[in-house]
Amino acid sequence: MFKPIEPKQNFPEMEEKTLKFWEREKIFEKSLKKTESQRPFVFYEGPPFANGKPGIHHILARAFKDIIARYKTMRGFYVERKAGWDTHGLPTEIEAEKRLGIKTKKDIERIGIEKFIKTCQRSVFLYKDEWEKITKRMGYWVDLENAYMTCSQDYIESVWWILKQIWERKLLYQDYKVVPYCPRCGTSLSSHEVAQGYKRVSETSVYVKFKVKSQSNTYILSWTTTPWTLPGNVALATGKNFDYVKIKVKSNKSEEYLILAKDRLKVVENDYKIVKRFKGKDLVGLEYEPLYSYVPLKGKKAYFVTEADFVSTEEGTGIVHIAPMYGEDDYNLGERVDLPKIHTVDEQGKFKKEVKPWAGEFVKDAEKDIIKNLEKRKLLYSTELYSHDYPFCWRCGAPLLYYAKLSWFIKVTAVRDQLIKNNEKINWVPSYIKEGRFGEWLREVKDWAISRERYWGTPIPIWKCEKCNNIKVIENLKELEEESKKKLSKNFDPHRPYIDKIKLKCECGSEMHRIPEVLDCWFDSGSMPFAEWHYPFENKDRVDSGKVYPADFISEAIDQTRGWFYTLLAISTLLKRGPSFLNVICLGLILDEKGQKMSKSKGNVVDPWNIINKYGIDSLRWYLYTVNQPGEYKRFREKDLQKVLRKFLLTLWNTYSFFVTYANANSWKGDIKYQISDLENILDKWIISELNLLMENVIEKLEILDVTGAGRDIEIFIDSLSNWYVRRSREKFRIGVKRDQNAAFSTLHYVLINLAKLLAPFIPFVSEEIYQNLTGEESVHLADYPKSDKKLIDEELNEKMVRVRQIVTEVLAERAARGIKVRQPLSKLKIRGGKIENELIKLIKDETNVKEIELEIDSKLNKTEYIKDSLDTQLTKELEIEGMVREIIRRVQEMRKKAKYSVKDVINMNYEVKDSQSKVRKVFDDYSKDLKRDLLVKNLVRGKSKDVDVEQEIDINGEKVWVGVKKIEKY
Ligand SMILES: [Zn+2]
Ligand SMILES: [Zn+2]
């Protein structure tokens, strides 16, 4: 006896029970134990930040990680799955600032770094429980107990070691460089961080007049989108081969002269007359009066025209205003022609005290006043609203400034070719990411600014001599002890401020201090292939021998192409270790149903818990796998999920439920099974053939990470199983000949068990339920993935069945077009073609409800087809009566269902037809034997009765019949 199926399955409840079972019986651990000595399949978990609640997009990534890991385990690989947590960096610091009610770096220094760090440490895992809860609930098997943490002592030590290797390759350097800088967070951002925060903005750009020295009423016209950089102006630049003009314009009463590029004359609003023409190089050296005099020149030359190759005549005036500290091009030009390099803006993005009118004001806020000031001084020519993409801090939303800072860089540009070569060895899903989004990023790669002037991060292990500027890079704690001649405690916390207290002795005799910066937290996460193992201080052999490196598989969302995917590859390349991952599924983002990004402020965020509690995680998983290709954007619609539940999961479940119900009713226990290879019935042979073909296809697709393709194949199979195999075999399960019935049960049993195994990586819960009940084995997740038996695949039969189903579809369509119900038998139809088995002809007959099929032999046709319009729709009296019998049976079957009778329950049935001449009454008389057999009726009695469970007036071909049914208690 199989465990009976509840009439209404509550999937979420069933999943919860399975979860408890897995945990109690340690099924995940057992699956690892089983494969321990097998070939490894290496998987890396991209560490999430646990200081925000997990969202539906995290479920997406975890679903894709889980399916591949489970699949490979069932294929006999050892798939170690170490969880990991990203802990360092600004998200945590911002959370700590909120908790402490502070806002700036000054505030942090005031309350003390130690207190701040302690708060960070506490808020790192604010939502760790939430994360663990949903990880477990969704059936994502990952080792949470031995998770790596980027803030652990071991992890940091490995990161130091990596940095030391890069230093020894001479690829670590410090430079004054204009970097994208967040004034609120007080730190520079790496280019991949900047790439994440662009927004479209409209700002006021200005056309400014720079008065030419010792020429009355003559101005050089320049244009800028960042008026706040104007107090820092020290030069103007032209393109040396461009054409420039001096024009005479009349404004109001006065007359003035403007100089600009000829191609940009369209920006001039007044009438003008060209009075002189030059080349850009002719203007070089021309001096002008400073707009402002807040930059101390310190003996350097400024306020003159120079030339530069970045000048264009695409927009503006063809003359670029130069503020070396606030633009990468500006800075490089400043280096070349030796301009003064002095900040007018402090590190909080506020004007310095020397810039008197706006001292202490945030530069973006001061722009209006600057424009007013220029206007008052008649140096403003015009303003123009300008729309462009501007970068904002991806963490705090503040506008970034391009700002010259001393930063530490990794010279990634030196290994660009190697990065590109390593990328060639990676299999990307979808494949276009490889040369597209990711490849482009690599071809244009910039040096990586790795230093952050912050607190909660891996301290950069660089000590600098205060006297001779000598530098020492430390690679581990032991070296630090030796160099500092200080014994560190076993639990020494290598974070700030403790690490900052350790001083080294320089060869020159002076003290060396650690530089204050911490590392970009993306360096942490990119180091995980090594740092999760505390390499090379532990597990050296495991990493070096390829047991845990490189990853055979990783999967995250597309935004990681410039995040984790990039830093993983950058670090392994810098270490000369090839690519650190070989296969990657790069997932599209999840949007709301209108195609908008989900965000708290829009209130369109989907809470995964609501979905899981309502539909169960298996429905959600299946939806994510099959709704579209993994790389495409997903517009999340609850309706689509309901469709998945109905069309896929419930179809599977109902087929399984059908099997269990009838197997129990017929006491089929599977003890005397029919040999699958000896099956005789054509439907049985066909479904076994299709199943084996499916097993072949699913493996083929999962091997190339085509999860969606594999899922869709299974969907088609389940539809065939339910809507063809079971539908056409139904009678056999109910009341078949013993031998046929055993074959049918054996077939469906075999199919369902193998289907459960095929589906185990996709929908681990429902497949577990089915497998356990049908086999009595401990868990489907300890089974091997099913392999097809080629001998059981009969391609010819599969093809024939496709034709049969095609013919049926065409005939049914014709019936529908003529308004004849399927229950009404018809006499004849014609088909044409070569050889076709009688069994197949019978299938067509049964399904189309036609008495006779005429086969027109045409040996030239290699497949059978329906002859259009050959359906004989003439109704004889016999056919009409038979139709009525079928209709009565169908309606009473519905009543049996309504009365909740089991398939074995025997009933008594009363009926009453008022008109004694009625056709229906004759049907009841003449066909009582058929009705009693098909409806399990003991006594069929004419006349109404009050003693019934369910009564109903039914309509049979326009005649009203009263029917009552009652279950016989003891039979
Ligand atoms: Zn910021
Ligand atoms: Zn020194």
165 is annotated as an active-site residue: no
Q: Which is the catalytic residue, given 131, 246, 324, 560?
A: 560
Residue with tokens 């369109």: 604
522 is annotated as an active-site residue: yes
> What 8-state DSSP symbol labels residue 43?
B
CB atoms under 10 Å from CB of 271, counted, come to 10
Q: Which ligand is nearest to the CA of 89?
A: 1
**Residue from 247, 319, 315, 313 nearest 284 by CA:** 319
pLDDT digits (tens, 9 = 90+) for 559-583: 999 999 999 999 999 999 999 999 9
Q: Name the stretches of the chain with pLDDT < 70.
A: 251-252, 970-971
3-state secondary structure of 90: helix
What are the tokens at 346? 């402090």
Give the pLDDT confidence score for residue 951 in this predicted structure.
94
3-state secondary structure of 600: helix
End-to-end CA distance of the chain: 21
Strands 254-261 and 218-224: parallel
Give the pLDDT confidence score for residue 175 in this predicted structure.
82
- d(C-alpha 75, C-alpha 786), whole Å: 9
Q: Which ligand is nearest to the CA of 454?
A: 1
CA of 476 to the centre of ligand 2 (A): 21
For 303-333, b/e burial (b = at least 16 CB within 10 A) is bbbbbbeebebeebbbbbbbbbbbbbbbbeb
CA of 338 to the centre of ligand 2 (A): 30
- Alpha helices of 254-377 — where are they, by DSSP H? 280-283, 328-337, 363-376
What are residue 791's phi and psi, to 5 degrees?
-60, -25
pTM score, two decimals? Answer: 0.82
357 is annotated as an active-site residue: no
Q: Which is the catalytic residue, given 273, 600, 877, 970?
A: 600
Instruction: Judge residue 266's burial from the number of C-beta atoms within 10 Å of its C-beta, 0-12 exposed, 13-18 middle, 19 or more buried.
Output: exposed
pLDDT digits (tens, 9 = 90+) for 313-330: 999 999 999 999 999 999
CA of 467 to the centre of ligand 2 (A): 5
Cα-based angle 558, 562, 565 (whole degrees, multiple of 5):
75
Give the pLDDT confidence score for residue 94 in this predicted structure.
84
Give the pLDDT confidence score for residue 971 in this predicted structure.
58
CA of 458 to the centre of ligand 2 (A): 25
> For residue 501, what are the CA distances in angstroms to 112, 344, 496, 515?
14, 33, 9, 11
CA of 485 to the centre of ligand 2 (A): 17
CA of 469 to the centre of ligand 2 (A): 6
Strands 518-519 and 198-211: unpaired
47 is annotated as an active-site residue: yes
Q: Which ligand is nearest to the CA of 194?
A: 1
Q: Which is the catalytic residue, given 40, 65, 66, 86?
A: 86
CA of 189 to the centre of ligand 1 (A): 9
564 is annotated as an active-site residue: yes
CA of 471 to the centre of ligand 2 (A): 8
- Alpha helices of 377-520 — where are they, by DSSP H? 416-424, 432-433, 439-443, 477-484
What are the tokens at 591? 């949007």
pLDDT digits (tens, 9 = 90+) for 33-55: 999 999 999 999 999 988 788 99
Strands 583-587 and 427-429: parallel
Give the pLDDT confidence score for residue 953 in this predicted structure.
93
Q: Which ligand is nearest to the CA of 188?
A: 1
User: CA torsion 562→565→566→571, rounded to 10°?
Assistant: 150
86 is annotated as an active-site residue: yes
CB-based contacts of 749, cutoff 8 Å, min separation 6: 659, 663, 670, 673, 774
CA of 360 to the centre of ligand 1 (A): 19
CA of 110 to the centre of ligand 1 (A): 20
Give the pLDDT confidence score for residue 970 in this predicted structure.
63
Q: Which ligand is nearest to the CA of 467?
A: 2
> What 8-state DSSP symbol labels residue 760?
T
Which stretches of 241-332 are assigned E, i.e. beta strand? 243-251, 254-261, 272-279, 304-307, 319-322
> What 8-state DSSP symbol labels residue 5?
P
Q: Which ligand is nearest to the CA of 395?
A: 1
> For residue 77, what are the CA distances in angstroms to 34, 423, 809?
10, 25, 44
- Single-letter amino acid code for the residue at 45: E
Q: Which ligand is nearest to the CA of 185?
A: 1
Q: Which helix (H) or strand (E) holds 945?
A: none
Q: Which is the catalytic residue, given 276, 467, 597, 938?
A: 597
Q: Which is the catalytic residue, given 40, 47, 180, 608?
A: 47
What are residue 276's phi and psi, to 5 degrees?
-160, 150
Residue with tokens 């299709």: 690
CA of 461 to the centre of ligand 2 (A): 17
622 is annotated as an active-site residue: no
CA of 463 to the centre of ligand 2 (A): 10
> For residue 330, what are the CA distances in angstroms to 53, 187, 232, 302, 438?
43, 21, 11, 13, 29
> What 8-state DSSP symbol labels residue 649?
I
